[in-house]
Amino acid sequence: MLKRNSLYITALLLVLLLASACLKQMQPGRPRAEDKNKSTPASNDLHKKTKKGSGKENKVADDKAVTPQARQQLSAGINQFGFRLYEQLRSEDGNIFMSPYSLATAIGMVFEGAGTQTAAEIQSLLQFPELAMERRAAVASMYNALNPKDASYSLSTANGIWSQQDFSFLPDYLNVLKVHYCSQAASMDFRNNAESSRQEINKWVADRTNDRIKDLFQEGVIRPDTKMVLANAIYFKGRWARQFDPKRSFDKDFRAPSGPVKAKFMIPAGEEKDYLYFENDDFKAIELPYEGSELAMLALLPKQDELGPLEAALNPELLAKVDAGLRSTDVIVQLPRFTFKSKFELNETLAALGMPTAFSDDADFSGMTGGRDLKIGAAVHQAFVEVNEEGTEAAAASGIVMRPTGAAIEPISFIADHPFIFLIRDKQSGVVLFMGRLEDPTA
């Protein structure tokens, strides 16, 4: 008889969407014919319509040179990067949700144009395959796997690049992004229309995340001196392989760090179900599969209310230990229903993780332009997750803004949102006709 365990989700939940099952499907795809003679991304294929939320452009990335070893190294590199990023972010209060794949892909696109110390630091952080041909084929293979056809769930990813219309980028760099990242391209007039460009790029992201990520680039991030914007979007929606019964959901205390809060808890349609389960002295883990059994949620629950020790131990080796120890077991499951979004500005975080040169005037992105004239001006990330009785919806987007090296050009502002003095003068004589101060504009 199977061992029976009671799993009550009463501490902060750590969610990991497992990519390993999806990566098993990676098979070499067919290469696409490309025009290698374009000097700037002026084709404006980003303006082509796509089904909202799907992200699918009916394109196949060139992965004909992929090897199993390169696929595995790429997957391991993204996971390691994700755990290191989580370690940096976990000191912040509140819920956290992010996509290591999305952010690694966005960084990977600028890595293709990096050189010298800049490239060495990014490579050390991402741990991608070092040979360019193997790396690019593995990236393409993952892209193709994450845009499955006829799946029982919705899963899609898309890459986009937007360049200043009169600024030249190397044809070889643009072609790599087009062939292996399936990056859609458009020319923009950031210099004269930075705000409308920002809105157009944000709309592209929203269209590919089912409107879950609507404002990836906040006002002021895309400035008149912007030379290129790169973005990745990923979207997932799947139904549980074993549904939860909405009629059985009930209110219960969730022991949050700030004190108990009422949450809606879900129960499977049958009280006891067979799940893959792991337990040791410190925590419990359960795998909750989605329809199709190719993707699953892994929840790690500390036996004590404090999440910190488990977070501190979180790394690829721990995940491998859990994977090796999962056993089919009858488990009583109670899972809270939740929805939230996370937003991150990551310049300082990524620099602290080991790639500071990319954000400095010493940056070398000569593989983009032929000169050392660009640096990363902004790196941003947003993610959304909803878990309910039916299943899970998750979306994320990552963006990188390339700006010129040299002195930063900060926009000048005068935002009178606190008390100030004002005078009304005759400009010819200079005499002050009226003078006063404003402390409360509503008085």
pLDDT, one tens digit per residue, over 178-233 is: 999 999 999 999 999 999 999 999 999 999 999 999 999 999 999 999 999 999 99
Given a cut of 70, is residue 144 above it in pLDDT?
A: yes
Which residues sit opposite 158 in a β-bridge? 233
Q: Does position 435 have pLDDT exceeding 70, yes or no?
A: no
Kindly write down the DSSP assignment for every residue of 16-39, as one continuous string.
EE--HHHHTT----------TT-S
Please tell me the distance from the alpha carbon of residue 269 to that of residue 257, in angstroms, as a whole number: 30
Query: Does residue 172 register a pLDDT over 70?
Result: yes
Specify the pTM.
0.84
Look up residue 195 and give its two tokens.
């705000």
pLDDT value of position 406: 84
SS3 276: strand
Whether domain 1-415 has CATH 3.30.497.10: the reply is yes
pLDDT tens for 273-302 read: 789 999 999 999 988 889 998 888 888 888
- 27 pLDDT band (50/70/90 cuts)? very low
The dihedral sign for the CA sequence 242, 247, 250, 254: positive
Kindly tell me if the per-residue pLDDT of 38 is higher than 70.
Answer: no
Is 287 within 8 Å of 297 (Cβ atoms)? Answer: yes
Flag whether pLDDT at 314 surpasses 70: yes
| pLDDT at 58 (0 to 100) | 60
| 12: DSSP letter | P
Tell the burial category of 140 from Cβ atoms under 10 Å away from its Cβ (0-12, 13-18, 19+): buried
- Domains in the chain: boundaries: 1-415
- Give the C-alpha distances (Å, rounded to integers) separating 262 from 14, 199, 251, 324, 337: 19, 38, 6, 35, 11
Q: Is the pLDDT of residue 437 over 90?
A: no
